[in-house]
Structure formats: C-alpha cells, structure tokens
Structure 1
C-alpha cells in the first residue's frame, strides 16, 4: 500500500521515520564493587550542577554520607542531591519506602545543620513506589534467624525489611504510595489482608495492625503533597527544556539481584538496567554512566571475597579508611583492589568512566597489590563465576605495584599526584579500558 498522506502540520509518516535524538540524557552514578565506594560524595559533587537528582532502587538499607561545611549528613532514602536547594530530588518507583524511616531521617539531618531546610518543598515521590511496613522489617529479622538456625549462616541483611517488601511486590500483594494517598478505607482493607498473609506464614510474628494503620494515616497526610506520577515527571524532565538529570545508584553492581554474588545480594537491580525500570526512563535517554571504584575493596557482612586481607594490611585499610557501614555501623572487611570483579561490573554496566575514590588510604603502603586474574585448581577462570561455591575457592593472581609513601590528601587533579599514584591509576584504566574521570580522596 502507498504511504499515508502526511497530515498538515504534523510532518506525516516521513517525519516519524526520522529518528529523534533524545533532548536530555540522564547521568548515572553506580557502585562498581560491593557498595561503600563513596558514591555519596561523587553524587554530591555532580548534584551541585543538577536540576533533578533521582533514586531508582533500593531502600533505607543503603547509606550515603555527605559532608557539607563540616556537617556530616547521613542519607538512606533521601537522594544525596536534596542538599542542593536549586534541584528537585525524586524517589522513583523502583525504591521501596519505609515511611517512618524517611521522616525520621529528614528530622535527624535537619538537627545537624541548615542544609536540609525546606526539603519537603523540593522532594517528589513516585506514586508507583512500594511501601515497606514495620512487619516487613520484623519478618526480615525472623528470616535471618531461621537461616542461622537451619543452615548455620545468614545473609547479613540490614533487617530493614527490603527483601520482604520486594517479595510482596513480586507476589503482587504489595501496597504502593498511590494506594496510601487515595482512598484510605480501601488501603486499610488491603493492608489487613497483607498483614494476615504474613501472620499466617510466620505464626510468631506480632503485628499491631490498628496502631500501624493509625501511624500510616498520619504519614499519608504528610506524604500526599510530595507524590507525583513518576512516569510523567521523568518524561517532562527528559523532553522539556534542557535539564541536567542525575541518577544516584544505591548498593552496587556485585549486590545486584541478578548479576551480584547471589544469594549475598540485595533485592533490587542496582546495575544500569535498574535506572530504566526504577524511573521509567527509556534506554535511549541514558547518557554517561560513571562507575565509582574504591582504590581497594571492601565488603560488609558475609559472602565470598577473593582479595580479602584478614591480616595487618586489612586492618590498616579498615583503620585508615574508617570502614564502618553507614546503615548498620558494622565493620567492613577490607582487601586489595579486585579488577576481575570491577571488569565484570563494567561488562554489565558499560561505564563511560570510573571515579576512583579513597586513593589516599593507600598513602602509607610501600607496595600495593591488585587482583588481575582468578584460578581454580590451578586452571584459569575465564569469567567471573555465578556460583558462589566456585568463587570461595578461587586463587587470585596479583600484580604488585610500588607505593608512593607520601600524602595525596591535598591533590585536586591528576598532575598533583606522585608519579607512582599516577601509574596506579593508569594501570587500572589500561586493565579496564575505561578512563578515570576523577580521583576523589577520603578527606
């Protein structure tokens, strides 16, 4: 059939055949290891120039520390960009939200300094985001106890209810923000059904349904002015007048539910695909993707850790790096930089560049090792293994590089670093075939 005639003023079929370049593309910041890479600081630096700063997945199991004017702010649900009074912060549909945690977090940070003043006027929350209830958190703790009793080890979750909330989402009996701020009588009915469901599964679970409903009714009133249709909000930001949009990843690549070191992972997609599904952003609007890489490797909780140094070196990294979890306060396990792991993260995410953090923690070491290959039973492992039983058995091949044994804390650009530190960064860039965008010290 012949092509349809173009409609006046609309460009017709021929116009539709011409691909349109996205007007705005989002910049994405993701963790490239097991979390705690210093994403909050990188996001805070980029957020100073952003119009919209977004969270796309996870919940208050993640933690970012941002220091502004000597005031230390701890964020778990709030995007780090909320400190930028000129930007809109957005919590997307891929995030699961514990409402008491959200408002308590805001109050605590308000008491620390003036940076968070007026936060409710510049925060938007997707109406499609799922809610974490108090009983989700209680169930999280029960499940960890059961794993310990049945298998002799747990997953090391934060017990913030994240897994059970995502389970409710996947089981299609979860409740969303849109449910809470609409007809509360309908919400109450669904809430009672969900609570009963968990009580049936966990007979020892104690839920004060009436008290939690009363609490949620109060939160609904505070929440309602913040709620927006997230798809239309993001579409407007992507297709309207030029805006700088920043996406702040929580957790990290090796904690991704699909690509991480399963089962010792989180319950959401914290790789780049989670940006599309967690915000409603088309893939064509993904711009630069920055992978944040700590200059060594850390991990909180249990799970395989090939380059872990359970020795004086690990203790030094832990002490100098002040390696304690923001959310749990747990001591982080420390080891050498694992480039096999980071290269795998790059395969999944396609990093445009890496931001190398906490380089100064290595300042006192006369030599520095970097993991560059895995072997099992003296045979090279061609890829990063999916099976954690295999990962626990790997032997790591290291490259040893000379240290610089002087302070890098004052360096603010590449040329100010000692030559050995520059060589260390070049080694990482060459191995990954990804440029280093910036080097961010701990101070």
Structure 2
C-alpha cells in the first residue's frame, strides 16, 4: 500500500537567487497564459502533444524557457482543459439531477474564456528540473543556470527524504504574502497492506454544519465537535469582505488582497486538527464516512426571486461547508495512524431509528437537534443517531470483508438493484441487541 504525501520545503534563498526565481516563475506564468489562449482557439483542446507542436518554438524563443519547461507548459494546460471537460460531464449529470428534482438547470461557464493562470507556480520534475544535494540543499533550474539553495521543513518529511522515500514531481510555489518561495515535493511512502483483523474498532463519522463531526463506536463511546467557533470566524470574514467591497477604495482593495486565502487557510487548519483529534481519540479504528455525492443539489431548496437575508446566509454557509476536505484529511491520515476509512451509503442515516428501524422525515421534527421516533418514541441527539447508523453500516462492510476477503471502499451507487439490496439490509440493523428482529 502506497501513500503520497506532500512535503513543503521552505527555500532559504538569497536576494540574487530570488531575482532568478522571479524571472523564471513570471516567464513560466506568461507562457501558460499564452498557451491557454492557443489551446482555446484550437477548439478547447486537451491534447498536450498537439498543443506542444503549436507553441514549443514560440515558448523557447519568446519566453526563454528551456526544453523541459517548454514541454511541461503544454502538459499543464492540457490537463487544465481536461479537467474542464470532466467538469462539463459532471455538470451535465448534476443538471439532469436538478431537473428531476424540479429545479432550474444552470449553464456551464467553464468554457466562456481560456483559463487564466495567476499564481506564480510551476511544475518541476525530479532529477530534471530539481534534485537534492548533501547538507540539506536542493538544486533548482532557472532560465539561465541551476542554483543550489538550502531548505528547511517538517522534521518527519526531511527524515523521509534522507531515508530514501520515493520522490516524485514538485511544484515551485511563490507565497506572495510572505514574499517567499517554497518547493512542494511529492513523497511516496510504502505501508503494509491492511487486513480485516488489523482494526479491532469500528467507528462512524457523521459530518454536518451545526456539528462538524460527531463520532461514535460500537462501545457507545462518542465525540462531538461543534462548528460554532468556525462558523463565527467565517461570519467575521464575510462581514469584512462585504464592508471592504462596499467601500471600494484602493486601501480597501489592498486589504482584500491581504485577506484573500486567510479564511481558506483557517478552515484547512481547522480540518487538519479535527481529523487528527478523531484519529487519536479512536486509535486502530475501521472508520466509516458518508458518501455525500451531490449533497448540495439534494438539499438545495427552490430559488425565489426575492430571497430574504436569512436564506441568503444559509445558502452561503451551505456553499462553504468543507465536509469533503475533512473526509479527505481523514482518509489520507488514517493509514499513517494505524486506521482505515471506507465510504458508506448516507441515505436515511438521520431518519432511521436505531431501536425499531422506523424511517421517516417526521422522526426529526423541524430538522432539529433531537430525534424522536414516531413509532417507538426513542429519543436521542440527531447527529449521534446518524453517527450510530454509519457505525452499523461500517460494521457490515467489515464483516463482509472478513468473510469474503474482499473490500470495496466505494459503494456502487450507480447500480440501483445493489443499492436497494444494501439499504434493505441496513434496515434490519439495530443498535441495541435486545431490539434486533433477527434475535
């Protein structure tokens, strides 16, 4: 089992070296924007070979790029257009889903203009554009010649480089706020393949907006992480942006540039710490995560011409919900901490009673904090109930893995019959053995 990590190395460059890196990154960015326009005029082509034939000579002569960089530019532009084509296909599927739900379809705006590259970052290939030297130094290519720069970084990542971890491509990235260059290097770590007997604990993680994570295991241990603090910080950023945009002065624009990315960094740091907190609280666990594909389309209400202030605020919070980032952090950190994650079906996890199995929207009056079963009267925190349902479904996956020896980490939600069979099987699960209909 291989896991790829990204090591962020801070380059301790001198002023002369920074000037050389500035010239290189700016020329590379201009070459990307020129190539993007050419590919856009070629029918939004994502074929890197065809794009390279059109622009290679111009990139070498006009932008002064070396052969390796002149070849990487068309590949990066082609990959960008390939992502747009993939997004277009996904967009068409989502619009069909919205039309079935009675919502108005939206137009795809990704191909209105060629993509614009703003960040001063460039792709570098190991042993071609950069290589590591002794005494914690790295050799980096520029427009004229290679320069050797000392670097520093996270101690564990530095040790992986020394121990001979598999090194992949890197990205030379410029932090405009700190006026500092970083080298982001892909490190591949080999871990033993997981076995069904390795994880003795089964855990379910319910993600939400009121509570960012509610975790429970089969021993009735639970963990709640409120999202109140993060929500207040987001509202603070939103008010700042609104006031500065309304002001519209030069100083306000400079302040907006300073604030750009600060909220994103705060949320990323929040999710990093939360994922580690979960993994350390539930060690050696087999963790189930909800498959929340198209969750925003499923939960979005109908549009109105005059939305009130409260509905606009709810829509903004829903669009800023970073559940996917939290699940991604859990997925890649889990093997490094002796755990493993799988995706489970999210259908009816907040509506199905864990005592009697009754499933209904009426079990959560007003979509509030408390769950009260209409059939048996069982009451519990709604997010804790969702976490327990996820835990039981994760336990079923682990049992199937132990019996068959095969594990499917992604549910086949496109197969309607298999999905119906799984949901029918889940309907027989009970949190309390005394209420299990099979006993």
Pairwise TM-score range, normalised by the shorter structure = under 0.3
Structure having greater relative contact order (Cα 8 Å, sep ≥ 6): 1
Task: Give the structure with the higher percent helix.
Answer: 2
- TM-score of the two chains, using structure 1 as the length reference: 0.25
- TM-score of the two chains, using structure 2 as the length reference: 0.25
